[in-house]
Amino acid sequence: MHPNALLDLTTELLRSVLKLDAPADGLVSMFFRKHRDLGVRERHTLAETTYTVLRQRLLYQHLAAAGKYNEKGAPERRLAILAWQGNEAFLRGALTAQEQSWLADVQKIDRAALPDKLRHNLPDWLANPLRESLGDGFWPLVEELSRAAPLDLRVNAMKAKREEVQAALAEAGITAEPTPYSPWGLRIHGKPALSKLPLFTQGLVEVQDEGSQLLAALVDPKRGEMVVDFCAGAGGKTLALGAAMRNTGRLYAFDVSGHRLESLKPRLARSGLSNVHPAQIAHERDDRIKRLAGKIDRVLVDAPCSGLGTLRRNPDLKWRQSPKALEELQAKQIAILAGAARLLKSGGRLVYATCSLLAQENERVAEAFTAAQGGEFVPIEAASALEAARVSDPAALVAGPYLRLWPHQHHTDGFFAAVWQKR
* Cα 405 to chain centroid, rounded: 12
190: left (phi over 0), alpha (psi -120 to 50) or beta: left
pLDDT above 80 (res 69): no
Average confidence (pLDDT) over 148-154: 96
Q: What is the pLDDT of residues 153-170, one digit of tens each?
A: 999 999 999 999 999 999
pLDDT above 70 (res 144): yes
Residue 66: pLDDT band with limits 50, 70, 90: confident
| The pLDDT value given to residue 224 | 97
Q: What is the pLDDT of residues 273-284, one digit of tens each?
A: 999 999 999 988
Helix and strand counts by DSSP (H, E) for the chain: 21, 13
Mean pLDDT of the chain: 95
| The pLDDT value given to residue 74 | 83
* Parallel, antiparallel or unpaired: strands 377-380 and 344-354: unpaired
Cβ atoms 45, 82 nearer than 8 A: no
In b/e form, how buried is each residue of 228-241, taking b as 16+ CB within 10 angstroms?
A: bbbbbbbbbbbbbb
| The pLDDT value given to residue 285 | 87
Average confidence (pLDDT) over 190-199: 90
Residue 15: pLDDT band with limits 50, 70, 90: very high
Which run of H or E residues covers position 419?
strand 415-422
Q: What is the pLDDT of residues 300-330, one digit of tens each?
A: 999 999 999 999 999 999 999 999 999 999 9
| The pLDDT value given to residue 189 | 82
Residue 111: pLDDT band with limits 50, 70, 90: very high
- Given the residues 227, 340, 355, 382, select the one marked as catalytic: 355
| The pLDDT value given to residue 68 | 67
Q: What is the DSSP letter of 294?
A: T
Contacts of 65 (CB under 8 A, 6+ apart): none
355 catalytic per annotation: yes
